[in-house]
Every structure is written in structure tokens, then in C-alpha cells.
């Protein structure tokens, strides 16, 4: 019944697909970078630490963008900030195609990360606020499923474009979504909840204090740990996935092919999470999928055979991205409308610190000839810590309305 209501309401369906396509383009950008760095390492003769630095610079931009966009979205609206962040990341993508040095590329990747990091929490907040509580979790996880489509597109671009036309062509393709912003400007509106509270806006300082007030402090701590560990492990593992495959003895083209196969597993991961999150709750899906991600990471790191690597990679993609979907559904539900985008942006920004550390740490460990198994053990423990934080300090938000809770308080 929930599914029927979500898919048969034209306004909700239009919002989901409009925001979803922007999410897809974001994922395509992140995915393309993971393949481009593998090609750049060969063409520019980059060391492992330089590869780690390039991927980390993107996350630094995302951390800054998440805080800035979260604050601006609570003040000026979700729609305007969504459009501007999309345009910023597309422009930086296009300019990256003409980067002539490692330094220039790093600067442009920071700007692309700023737009990307700002857009994601704002889009999830907009969808979460625009859908009824009984359908909210499923809607946000389905929004997240567009991320998998973007990664699949990135893998296809890497497999068919980069070997023949080079990495610059991939960046040009990544700039094309700027034209989509013209459509998005007319297609979406701010959420009714945000419009209702325009006369009761808080300053940025008041919003930050509210996020860390006694009422929300416990949940904020759990969220920040969750975001840090999930982003740390995701970017540490997935941005290095093509390179790890090369380190395990496969050719660059073969590694792209295998990563494409693994990426396809993200879609059923999202869809199963979207079903289970409304049936069994957010905490159950988050904890279960995170623990299974941790087990898959250990298997992938220690796998030696071709079949074992692919099977472990498929499960890693399936459970990790399903957990991402649940995390994006869970986060906006912990805060009322007046501070929601700020709360989501701060959690996402803290998580991006993990995204900075993860890829760079892998680069340092690879440079020191640390075994792949040992590297993935680090991610195993990080993911388990995130699961425990939700289990111990998190609360179940299925069917709840934080605005009513705040009003009651």
C-alpha cells in the first residue's frame, strides 16, 4: 500500500525522480574519479600517496560543502541550494578535463567536492520532508538507489571511454548534467514543511546549539560516529577498488570490468533495504547491513581467487550501499524541520572527514607495502564501530514525526 501511494502520487514521483537524477549524476562523478585515478596513476606516474591525496581532496570539498549547504538550506530553502551545488560541481568537472597539472586538478576536485557534498544532504532532506512519514524511509532509500545507477554509468564510461578516449573525455561527460539544472529549476519546489516555518527561522548558531542540545546530543553522537565510519570505509574501499584489483594482478581494463560487475550489485542492495526499512525499522536495517558489510570486507581483503574476489565484491557492494540508503533515510528523521538540514549537513560533513582519511590512509599503507588483507581489517573494525554506535545510542525513527516531538517538548 505504501509503495502504491508513493509511486502513484504524481508530485511525489516527480520529486523522487527529479532529485534522483541529480543524485545519479553526483554518483557518476564520484565513480568516474575512482577509475580516472587508476588511469592517471599510469599516465602521470603518480605514487600511491598522490592517488590517496587526490581522492581525499574531493572529500575535503565535500566536508566544507555539506556544512555550508546545510546551513544555507535551512535559511534560504532546499531548492535553491540544490540547484547551485549541482551547477558548481558540474562546472568544476568540466574544467577538470583541461587540468594540466596535479595541483590544478586537486583544486578543481575540491570545488567539485564542495558542490557534491552540499547537494547530497540537501536532496535527502527535501525528499524526506515532502513525503508522508509512513513512506519517508522507502522514498529516501529509493532516492539513494540512483547512486548505484550513477556508479554503473561511471563504470560503463570507464570501460568504454577511458581506454580509447582518455580520462579527459570522462570529465567532459561529467559536466553535462549542468544542463539538467535548467530542468530542475522548474521541476521541483521547496518542501511544504520548510515553507510553513519561514517565519520561525533560527540563526546558524542557534541551529548548531539545538543539534547539540541535551534533547538531541545522544542521537547526534551516534550519527556522527555512524557517518564517519561509513564514509571512511566506503571511500577507502571503493575509490581504491579498481586500483586494488590491479594490485591483485589484473589488468586495468579487466579491473574496470570486474568493478562494473560488483557495482551492479548495489541496486538490489538498495531495493532490499527500501523494503526492509519500512517493515523492520531503520536501526535493524542499518545494524544488519553494516555487520554484513564488515564480514564482506574481510572476505574481499583476503580473497585470492578470481571467483572469490568477485563474489566478495558483489556482497560488499550489496550491503554497503544498502546501509548508505538506510543512513540517509535515518538521519533527517532525528531532527525537526527548523534544524533538519543543518543537522544532516553537520553529520555528513563530519563523515567526510572519514572520507578524507580513508583514501589517503590506503595510499600510505599501499606505499609501505602493507598487505591488502591488513588494510581491509581496518575497515572491518571501523564498520563494526558504526554499527555498535547505532545499536547503543541510536533510536528507532520509523513512523515518527520529529516536528511533533519538538512541539510536545
Q: Does the pLDDT value for residue 370 go beyond 80?
A: yes
pLDDT at res. 247: 74
Judged against a pLDDT cut of 90, whether residue 133 lies above it is answered with: no
Residue 262 maps to a domain = yes
State the residue for C-alpha cell 524541520.
337
Residue at 354 is within a domain: yes
Domain extent for 162? 13-186+211-400
User: Is the alpha carbon torsion for 295, 301, 302, 303 positive or negative?
Assistant: positive
- 204 occurs within a structural domain: no
**203 in any annotated domain:** no
Query: With bands split at pLDDT 50, 70 and 90, how would you rate the model's confidence at 1?
Result: very low
pLDDT for 256 beyond 60? yes
pLDDT of 3 > 50? The answer is no
How many domains are there within the chain? 1
> What is the distance, to the nearest Å, from the Cα of residue 201 to the centroid of all Cα atoms in its chain?
28
Tell me what pLDDT residue 136 has.
80
pLDDT at 2: 43
Residue 314 falls within a domain, yes or no?
A: yes
What's residue 48's pLDDT? 74
Mean of all residue pLDDT scores within the chain: 84
Residue 87 inside a domain? The answer is yes
Poorest-pLDDT segment among 145-154, 386-395, 398-407: 398-407
pLDDT attached to residue 406: 53
Q: How confident is the model over 8-47, as pLDDT tens digits?
A: 567 777 888 888 887 888 788 777 877 788 788 888 888 8
pLDDT digits (tens, 9 = 90+) for 281-313: 999 999 999 999 999 999 988 888 878 888 998
- In this model, does residue 359 exceed pLDDT 90? no
Q: Where are the alpha helices (DSSP H) in 44-98?
A: 48-76, 78-96
Residue 140 belongs to some domain of the structure: yes
pLDDT at 166: 85
Q: Is the pLDDT score of 409 beyond 70?
A: no
Separation between Cα atoms, residue 263 and residue 31, nearest integer Å: 10
pLDDT tier at 185, thresholds 50, 70, 90: low
Share of the chain above pLDDT 90, in %: 26
Q: What is the CATH number of the domain that holds 356?
A: 1.20.1250.20
What does residue 119 show for φ and ψ, rounded to 5 degrees? -70, -40
DSSP state of 203: P
Q: What are 78-128's pLDDT values in tens digits?
A: 888 888 888 898 889 889 989 988 999 999 999 998 988 888 888 888 888
388 has pLDDT over 90: yes
- Cα–Cα distances in Å, from 202 out to 130, 210, 286, 339, 402? 21, 10, 31, 8, 17
Contact 32, 176 (CB under 8 A): no
**pLDDT tens digits along 319-353:** 998 999 899 889 988 998 888 888 988 998 899 89
Rounded Cα distance between 323 and 364, Å, is 27
Calpha distance 210→120 (Å, rounded) = 22
33 or 205, higher pLDDT: 205
- Kindly state whether residue 5 falls inside one of the protein's structural domains: no
Amino acid at each position: 500500500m505504501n509503495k502504491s501511494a508513493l509511486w502513484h502520487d504524481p508530485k511525489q514521483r516527480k520529486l523522487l525522480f527529479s532529485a534522483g537524477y541529480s543524485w545519479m549524476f553526483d554518483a557518476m562523478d564520484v565513480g568516474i574519479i575512482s577509475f580516472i585515478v587508476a588511469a592517471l596513476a599510469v599516465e602521470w606516474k603518480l605514487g600511491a600517496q598522490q592517488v590517496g591525496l587526490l581522492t581525499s581532496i574531493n572529500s575535503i570539498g565535500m566536508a566544507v560543502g555539506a556544512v555550508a549547504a546545510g546551513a544555507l538550506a535551512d535559511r534560504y530553502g532546499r531548492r535553491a541550494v540544490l540547484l547551485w551545488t549541482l551547477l558548481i560541481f558540474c562546472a568544476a568537472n568540466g574544467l577538470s578535463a583541461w587540468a594540466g597539472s596535479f595541483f590544478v586538478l586537486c583544486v578543481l576536485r575540491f570545488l567539485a567536492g564542495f558542490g557534491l557534498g552540499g547537494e547530497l544532504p540537501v536532496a535527502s532532506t527535501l525528499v524526506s520532508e515532502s513525503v508522508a512519514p509512513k513512506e519517508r524511509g522507502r522514498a529516501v532509500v529509493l532516492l539513494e538507489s540512483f547512486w548505484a545507477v550513477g556508479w554503473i554509468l561511471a563504470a560503463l564510461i570507464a570501460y568504454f571511454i577511458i581506454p580509447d578516449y582518455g580520462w579527459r573525455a570522462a570529465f567532459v561527460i561529467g559536466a553535462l548534467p549542468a544542463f539538467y539544472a535548467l530542468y530542475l529549476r522548474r521541476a521541483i519546489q521547496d518542501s511544504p514543511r520548510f515553507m510553513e516555518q519561514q517565519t520561525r527561522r533560527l540563526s546558524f548558531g542557534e541551529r548548531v546549539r539545538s543539534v547539540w542540545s541535551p534533547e538531541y546530543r545522544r542521537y547526534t553522537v551516534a550519527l556522527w560516529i555512524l557517518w564517519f565510519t561509513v564514509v571512511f570505509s566506503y571511500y577507502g574501499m571503493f575509490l581504491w577498488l579498481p586500483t586494488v584489483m590491479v594490485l591483485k594482478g589484473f589488468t586495468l581494463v579487466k579491473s574496470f570490468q570486474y568493478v562494473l560487475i560488483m557495482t551492479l550489485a548495489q541496486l538490489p542492495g538498495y531495493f532490499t533495504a527500501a523494503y526492509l526499512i519500512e517493515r523492520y525499522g531503520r536501526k535493524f536495517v542499518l545494524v544488519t547491513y553494516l555487520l554484513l558489510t564488515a564480514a564482506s570486507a574481510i572476505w574481499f581483503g583476503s580473497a585470492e581467487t578470481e571467483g572469490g574476489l568477485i563474489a566478495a565484491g558483489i556482497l560488499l557492494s550489496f550491503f554497503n550501499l544498502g546501509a548508505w540508503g538506510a543512513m540517509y533515510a535515518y538521519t533527517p528523521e532525528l531532527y525537526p524541520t527548523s534544524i533538519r538540514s543543518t543537522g544532516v549537513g553537520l553529520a555528513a560533513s563530519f563523515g567526510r572527514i572519514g572520507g578524507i582519511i580513508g583514501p589517503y590512509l590506503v595510499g600510505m599503507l599501499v606505499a609501505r607495502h602493507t598487505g591488502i588483507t591488513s588494510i581491509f581489517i581496518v575497515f572491518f573494525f571501523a564498520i563494526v564501530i558504526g554499527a555498535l554506535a547505532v545499536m547503543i545510542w541510536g533510536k528507532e525513527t520509523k513512523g515518527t514525526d520529529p516536528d511533533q516531538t519538538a512541539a510536545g517538548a
